[in-house]
Amino acid sequence: MRKIFKIYIRDLKTIARNPAAIVIMIGLSILPSLYAWINIAACWDPYANTGNLPVAVINKDEGSVFNGKNINVGNEIIKQLKNNKNIGWQFVDEWQANYGLNEGKYYALIEIPNSFSKELTSLTSVSPTKPYITYRVNQKLNAIAAKITNAAKNQLADNVKSNFIATVNNEAFKTLNDIGGKLNVDKSKILQLRDTAAEANNNIDSIKKVISDANSNSENLQNYLNKFKTSLPKLTEQINSLQKSTEASKELVLSTKQTVNNTASNLSSDLIQIQSTTQQFQNVVDSLRSGSSSSDSNTITSLLNQLTNLNESLSKIAINDINYLNSIDSVKPNNNLKNLINSLTDLKKVTDAQAGKINETKKMYTANSSKDNVDSSLDSLSATNNQLTSQASTASNIFYTGALPVLNSISDGLVVSLDNLNLILESTKVIVPQLDALANFGIASSKLSVEQANELSSKLSSIQQQLNELSSKMKDLNEKNLNQIIKLLEMNPNDIASFLSSPIDVNETDIYGSGIFGVGLTPFYSVLAIWVGSLLACALLSVECKNFDDGEKLTLKQQHFGKMLLFLSLSLIQSTIIIFGDKYILGVNPENFKLMLLFGLLTGIVFTTIIFTLVSIFGNVGKAIAVIIMVFQIAGSGGIYPIQTNPEIFGVLQPLWPFTYAINGFREAIAGPIWKNVYANINALLIFAFIFLIMVIFKKPFHKITEFMEHKFKEAGL
């Protein structure tokens, strides 16, 4: 730090000993402020001198007749413009105006056509023609002047429209004043007429209601009979369709009956077969008992397999019969059928138990068990078979006494039901023609009644419509309303016409600033002047630092920061002069002058840090970079035009420029600070300064390259 300040003190002494250096430093201190003040003063109040803008006016209006009076709106417009000093109106003929506009003598031209008054007064007729004013502008002279004259043209059109509406309404309300007097005299007669019309209308409503009720009943009967008559062919068609379905169903029922009969026959056969099978089973068991010691193994195995097959046959018969009976019971539930199903289910359980005992007997023969064990197993099989025989006998009794009559009853009932249905359908077909004749008679009678009622109702409706129109217009009419209407009609025509021509006045309030254009531009031009001051300093003064004469060596960082102190001091002087000049020379009165001075000094430090670092590291290339950054910031920082009006790329880059935060800081100080925004702008500027302060690490890598390029540039003699 000691060496850094030593460099700074050496630079100050060098300037103090050199008059030319003092002059340059003074010039560098003042020149940026002149840049800001001149631009701000030039734009201080540009709209105050618009009266010097020459605009040609041509009046070709031939006038018109309105309410028996000759009027010429064009002449009235000329009178108004002669008293209007906002624009430099030049009243010339058509040739002079067009020639002067083309030659650049006039910024714009306004022409009032010959039919202007005629078309304007046509707005009060049934076939209005919209009037027009010709406006031509010379964009080549100045784009802003074109916008100003265009605004003047629009204001002129609004004034003409407002004055015309006021004139027409004034005349209309003068006539209404006379009507209001007559209305006051006839007020009682009007109220009596309203009451009479309402009473007559109510009486007609009562008569129409009686006719409407009778007519409605006739129409309802007629509509019902028409619908009923229309449905008769469909009814006949549906009956025929049902009969066909019945015939088709007969075949299905007969087939179902045959199936039920077959089921009964099959059940009878199955029960006989079960009894026969149990007898065969017992014979095989007896054969095994009698020949268990003398027969060979193949014979015994064959007999045991026969037992298995016979038992499986019994089980299958029981399962099939149970399934048949369940299907019938699901359609036609019956307790007798359920009893037979339960009996067969019990028989099936016995066959399952017998299958287990057969397997045990097979194991005994395979294991050559003792004769006593084998005989005991065969006795168990005989007992189970006897149980099957008993269960089969029980099922047979249930079948013949209960289930078989039920099955026969089901099959016979299906055929009888279909015959009864067909008989009903035939009876219904006979009634259909009689219903059709009755409907025709009813329709004819109700139609005649409806026609007569409609004719009478139509005549009453015509009378009622006229009364309704009168009552509708007078329904809200009462003595209070009439008094208000009379009061309105007798009001001052001038006051009413003025209100209708311009019903709204706009109170404009500027919440920030004094409304002077130049004050709004002060932040931009002040910030730009501070940047220009730093750039001029780096362009005219050397950023290089030499070693001390006593041979004391300096590092690149010491040279950089030691030299930068001089430029920072100069920038602080420049910024201070600019800020004080804005206030005391131009007359800008900020809400917070201390904050404005703070932002001026902070902006000078940040801008000098940026530009000095660029020039110190990159030499002339750094100066070019600083100029390029300045160009982008002028267009993309939102200093003059809102950033939203610029191309999208400028809005994207706006947060990257230090101008953005410096200008916003000045605006906060001038218009009144919102401290959250103030702190955000200060932090952003400090971040820029910090980034470029740490960029000094690139000075060493680029030092030789920059020194080489500077040497070659000097050798070029440019």
CATH, residue 337: 1.20.120
Share of the chain above pLDDT 90, in %: 11
Averaged over 47-60, what is the pLDDT?
Answer: 78
pLDDT, residue 168, reads 46
Averaged over 496-518, what is the pLDDT?
Answer: 52
Residue 244 falls inside a structural domain: yes
Residue 406 falls inside a structural domain: yes
| Pick from 24-33, 67-76, 390-399, 445-454: least confident | 445-454
Residues linked to residue 56 through DSSP beta bridges, in sequence order: 90, 109
Q: Do 55 and 32 have their domain in common?
A: no
pLDDT, residue 62, reads 86
| Pick from 38-52, 219-233, 267-281: least confident | 219-233
Averaged over 160-166, what is the pLDDT?
Answer: 52
pLDDT, residue 427, reads 59
Q: Do 170 and 232 have their domain in common?
A: no
pLDDT, residue 234, reads 67
Assign 490 a pLDDT band (cuts: 50, 70, 90).
Answer: low
Assign 682 a pLDDT band (cuts: 50, 70, 90).
Answer: very high
Q: pLDDT at residue 136 above 50?
A: yes
Residue 533 falls inside a structural domain: yes
Share of the chain above pLDDT 70, in %: 63
Angle between helices 371-398 and 187-290 (to 10 degrees): 140
pLDDT, residue 688, reads 93
Q: pLDDT at residue 150 above 60?
A: yes
Residues linked to residue 70 through DSSP beta bridges, in sequence order: 65
Residue 193 falls inside a structural domain: no
Residue 477 falls inside a structural domain: no
Cβ contacts of 637-646, under 8 Å, gap ≥ 24: 637/524, 637/663, 638/663, 639/523, 639/524, 639/527, 639/528, 639/663, 640/521, 640/524
Query: What is 507-527 written as a DSSP string?
Result: ----SSS-S-HHHHHHHHHHH
Taking the alpha carbons of 111, 115, 118, 121 in that order, is the dihedral positive or negative? negative
pLDDT, residue 158, reads 61
How do residues 371-405 score in pLDDT, each as one tens digit?
788 888 888 888 888 988 888 888 888 888 877 78
pLDDT, residue 691, reads 92
Averaged over 246-271, what is the pLDDT?
Answer: 67
pLDDT, residue 66, reads 74
Supply the DSSP symbol for 368.
T
How do residues 402-419 score in pLDDT, each as one tens digit?
777 877 777 565 555 556
Assign 541 a pLDDT band (cuts: 50, 70, 90).
Answer: confident
Q: Do 271 and 160 have their domain in common?
A: no
Q: Do 604 and 697 have their domain in common?
A: yes
pLDDT, residue 110, reads 87
Q: Do 602 and 622 have their domain in common?
A: yes
- Domain membership of residue 385 as a residue range: 199-470
Supply the DSSP symbol for 83.
T
Q: Do 55 and 38 have their domain in common?
A: no
| Pick from 88-97, 334-343, 632-641: least confident | 632-641
Kindly provide the residue ranges of all beta strands, DSSP E only, lying in 523-619, ordered along the sequence: none
Could you give the CA distance from residue 625 to residue 631 in angstroms, rounded to a whole number? 10
Reduced to 3 states, what is the DSSP secondary structure of residue 566? Answer: helix
Q: Do 203 and 180 have their domain in common?
A: no
Assign 609 a pLDDT band (cuts: 50, 70, 90).
Answer: very high
Reference 90, options 147, 164, 149; nearest CA is 149
Could you give the CA distance from residue 616 to residue 638 in angstroms, rounded to a whole number? 29
Greater confidence (577 vs 184) lies with 577
Q: In what order do the strands lie in the sheet with 88-91?
A: 88-91, 54-59, 108-112, 134-137
pLDDT, residue 171, reads 46
Residue 21 falls inside a structural domain: yes
Could you give the CA distance from residue 439 to residue 434 in angstroms, rounded to a whole number? 9
Q: Do 458 and 570 have their domain in common?
A: no
Greater confidence (336 vs 532) lies with 532
Which backbone phi and psi does 292 adopt, to 5 degrees? -70, -25
Could you give the CA distance from residue 161 to residue 166 in angstroms, rounded to a whole number? 9
Q: Do 339 and 373 have their domain in common?
A: yes
pLDDT, residue 593, reads 92
Averaged over 462-484, what is the pLDDT?
Answer: 63
Averaged over 453-469, what is the pLDDT?
Answer: 66
Mean pLDDT, the chain, whole residue set:
76
Residue 506 falls inside a structural domain: no
How do residues 304-316 score in pLDDT, each as one tens digit?
898 899 999 888 9
Q: Do 363 and 415 have their domain in common?
A: yes
Could you give the CA distance from residue 371 to residue 230 in angstroms, rounded to a whole number? 92
Averaged over 529-541, what is the pLDDT?
Answer: 90
Q: pLDDT at residue 660 above 70?
A: yes
Reference 79, options 4, 8, 186, 156; nearest CA is 156
Assign 285 a pLDDT band (cuts: 50, 70, 90).
Answer: confident
pTM of the model: 0.49
Greater confidence (144 vs 379) lies with 379
Greater confidence (302 vs 484) lies with 302
Q: Do 365 and 458 have their domain in common?
A: yes
Greater confidence (26 vs 138) lies with 26
pLDDT, residue 296, reads 74
Averaged over 18-43, what is the pLDDT?
Answer: 87
**Alpha helices, DSSP H, located in 43-142:** 73-82, 94-103, 116-121
How do residues 420-459 score in pLDDT, each as one tens digit?
555 655 655 566 566 566 556 656 666 655 666 576 567 6
Residue 18 falls inside a structural domain: yes
Greater confidence (301 vs 156) lies with 301
Averaged over 93-110, what is the pLDDT?
Answer: 86
pLDDT, residue 658, reads 93
Reference 486, options 65, 252, 71, 179; nearest CA is 179
Greater confidence (178 vs 626) lies with 626
Domain count, the chain: 3
Greater confidence (489 vs 91) lies with 91
pLDDT, residue 172, reads 45
pLDDT, residue 460, reads 60
pLDDT, residue 572, reads 94
Q: Do 325 and 465 have their domain in common?
A: yes
